[in-house]
Structure 1
Amino acid sequence: MSKITEQSDITLHFELALNDGQVVDSTFEKSPAQFSYGDGSLLPSFEEMLIGLEEGQEASFNMSPEKAFGMRNPNNIQRMPRSQFAIDIEEGMIVSFADVGKNELPGVIASIEDNEVEVDFNHPLSGRDLVFRVKVLKIGPSE
């Protein structure tokens, strides 16, 4: 039986959930995910958990914030002038910004005051313990 290696093409179902069971993302009710190990589809720490799994095998992994999306960084929370926003905004809304290199950078509106808006650029799952569940459907050698 083939096992996942760093040279594998992988087809699997996955679920990402918070410790309280709230599902953040899942392919179990949709088409499975297909990717080549190391192609950037999954975070490296998530891929490492897959090494050695066999076709048909199911597994569940507890992922600490350090292994998942990192710890929350207070430096990623920025205060901006309210006048910089040409759209109607609400707390919790995700707004797209462009960084210096013109890359899209999503930020969550954390708070709105008369003259200032606080925007949180941390990944929404940063600082969270997660449960990563997989069912390996197919393993093949990468081309």
Structure 2
Amino acid sequence: MSTAIGSNSSVIFHFDIKLSDGSAAESTRVHNKPAKLQMGDGSISAAFEAQLTGLKAGDKKTFTLAPQDAYGMPNPDNIYYVDRSKFSADAPAKAGMIIGFTMPDGSEMPGLVREVVGESVTIDFNHPLAGQTLTFSVEIVQVN
């Protein structure tokens, strides 16, 4: 008998995310690397966990989450204005680029260049899917 996902389960699963217009946003199947999740660790929303609870290995489910239950709403505090001189001539900032920035703790954080106006470059560190209503299709691979 296979184990159902509960509040302390460790879950390995594939997922596909679609935007509200039906276009694909993300998928673990592209590189065939399923995601691993520890239920109850706070890494995903309670609403997402509720959708997985009770599923077993081999189960598939599709559900839609509002922005606050998926990647949250964009936070204006995650928008930064950087002087254009911080970018090198061989790697100039252009709107739409995603650039990795080294944080004070040494980790790297991707930022999306929203716009370049004069000497000011607007960098958005919100998750690219923040503020979006998303449809998730999940397939449970393993439950421990």
Verify same fold: TM over 0.5.
Answer: yes
Post-superposition offset of 1:32: 5.3
C-alpha distance in structure 1 between counterparts of 2:31 and 2:108, whole Å = 27
| Residue aligning to 1:74 | 76
- The RMSD of aligned alpha carbons is 2.5
Tell me if structure 2 keeps the 8 A contact 1:97–1:104.
Answer: yes
Is 2:108 the partner of 1:107?
A: no
Distance change >3 Å, CA 28–CA 80, structure 1 → 2: closer
1:116 aligns with 2:120: yes
Tell me the CA shift for residue 61 of structure 1.
1.5
- Per-residue CA distance 1:8-31 (angstroms, 9 max, x = gap): 343332111111111112234653
Question: Percent identity between the aligned chains?
Answer: 32
* Aligned: 1:14 with 2:18: no
Cα deviation digits, residues 25-60 of structure 1 (max 9, x gap) = 2234653515352496x6244334211112332111
Q: For residue 128 of structure 1, what is the aligned residue in structure 2? A: 132
Misfit runs of 4+, over 6 Å: none
How many Å separate the matches in 1 of 2:127 and 2:30? 25
Measured in 1, the distance between the counterparts of 2:92 and 2:53 equals 47
Deviations 1:42-92 (A, max 9, x none): 624433421111233211121111111111122221111111111222110
State the match for 2:99 in structure 1.
Answer: 95
Return the letter of the residue paired with 1:74.
Answer: P
How many angstroms apart in 2 are the aligned matches of 1:59 and 1:85?
44
> Where in structure 2 are there 5+ consecutive unaligned residues?
none
TM-score, structure 2 normalization: 0.81
Q: Is the 8 A contact 2:10 2:39 kept in 1?
A: no
TM-score normalised to structure 1 length = 0.81
CA–CA distance in 2 between the matches of 1:32 and 1:123?
A: 20
Taking the TM superposition and a 5 Å limit, the aligned residue runs for 1:27-46 are: 27-28=28-29, 30-31=31-32, 33=34, 35-38=36-39, 43-45=44-46, 46=48
Gaps of 5+ in 1: none
Task: Give the Å deviation of 1:4.
Answer: 1.1
Query: In the comparison of the two structures, how many residue pairs are matched?
Result: 140
Task: Name the SS for the 1:112 alignment partner.
Answer: strand
Aligned to 2:57: 55
